[in-house]
């Protein structure tokens, strides 16, 4: 009861002392096997997400009810795996709002991390590279606080790090260990955004140079009928074998340039074997395709 009164009181403070009637916002965990760890409900025109309203994990099938003055709200849900579910500018009528959180609502392309109150949203615009590490530290302290954990921000995706207002040094590390550093980046009591672009790289990449990938049929008694090799950011393109096939023990050399490449083969039974995001240097690469690599 005390918790409910506190929530009502905080909502009244946000919307003025003259408002006295509140409406229920009911959040139901419909995630199947996953608990809801954090719940934030805050006015849609406000950057500050407030405090986590969920004192204990909300298990599948359970509901939690919060009282707020009718209006427009953002709802941010974070589950036990740190996956995010964000609902923007929802209208809460005087009758209240019920929101069931399902796996279909998961924000695959926009993650939320951090324990602060104000959003710093970072967009990966690197085209060819994913973001693997993200350091955000008070200005002048150097990269120490890695805040992404096991998350990956793929090309075109976003991550919102919730921090307190201040000046921060930000360092991004891509999947090839190249860095992008932004010093004394200001976060105020409004939404802050940063787009990581190729030209922001700290040290220029070496130019792509010719190299070779060799694909060997190690499938015992199965021929390989199709071979595809493409840059990680590109579609598969044409079959590299053409009218030929690869018998067990045979190989094919494909001329490429250094960088990240995907490879896929298909055997005579239609089974496929795929290698994703292989970084290939000037020395080239040999992929021995074996039965235990079947997709």
Residues 8 and 99 in one domain: yes
Q: Which domain holds residue 116?
A: 111-200
Supply angle C-alpha 288, 291, 295, rounded to 5: 100
Residue 288 domain flag: yes
Domain finish residue from 175, 200, 225: 200
Residue 233 domain flag: yes
Residue 257 domain flag: yes
Which residue positions in the chain have pLDDT lower than 70? 1-20
Residue 250 domain flag: yes
Residues 173 and 214 in one domain: no
Residue 205 domain flag: no
| Short-list 69, 68, 38, CA closest to 53 | 38
pLDDT for 255-268, tens place per residue? 999 988 999 999 99
pLDDT for 140-161, tens place per residue? 988 899 999 888 999 999 999 9
Residues 79 and 175 in one domain: no
pLDDT at 1: 33
Distance between CA atoms of residues 2 and 146, nearest Å: 37
pTM: predicted TM-score of the whole model, two decimal places:
0.74
| Short-list 192, 194, 198, 158, CA closest to 174 | 198
């Amino acid at each position: 009861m005390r918790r409910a009164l506190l929530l009502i009181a905080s909502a009244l403070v946000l919307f003025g002392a003259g408002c006295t009637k509140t409406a229920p916002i009911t959040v139901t965990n419909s995630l199947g096997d996953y608990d809801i760890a954090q719940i934030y409900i805050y006015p849609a025109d406000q950057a500050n997400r407030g405090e986590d309203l969920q004192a204990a994990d909300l298990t599948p099938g359970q509901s939690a009810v919060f009282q707020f003055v009718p209006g427009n709200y953002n709802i941010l849900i974070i589950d036990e795996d740190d996956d995010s579910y964000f609902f923007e500018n929802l209208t809460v009528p005087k009758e209240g709002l019920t929101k069931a959180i399902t796996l279909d609502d998961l924000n695959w392309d926009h993650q939320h991390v951090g324990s602060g109150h104000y959003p710093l949203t970072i967009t990966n615009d690197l085209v060819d590279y994913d973001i693997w590490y993200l350091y955000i530290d008070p200005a002048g302290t150097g990269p120490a606080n890695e805040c992404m954990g096991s998350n990956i921000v793929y090309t075109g995706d976003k991550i919102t790090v919730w921090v307190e207002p201040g000046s921060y040094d930000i360092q991004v590390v891509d999947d090839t260990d190249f860095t992008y550093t932004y010093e004394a980046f200001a976060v105020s009591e409004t939404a802050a955004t940063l787009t990581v672009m190729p030209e922001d790289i700290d040290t220029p990449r070496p130019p792509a140079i010719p190299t070779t990938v060799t694909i060997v049929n190690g499938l015992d008694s199965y021929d390989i009928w199709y071979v595809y090799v493409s840059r990680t950011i590109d579609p598969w393109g044409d079959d590299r074998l053409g009218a030929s096939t690869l018998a067990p023990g045979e190989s094919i050399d494909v001329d490429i340039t250094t960088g990240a490449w995907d490879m896929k083969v298909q055997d005579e039974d239609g089974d496929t074997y795929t290698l994703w995001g292989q970084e290939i240097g000037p020395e080239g690469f040999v992929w021995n395709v074996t039965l235990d690599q079947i997709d």
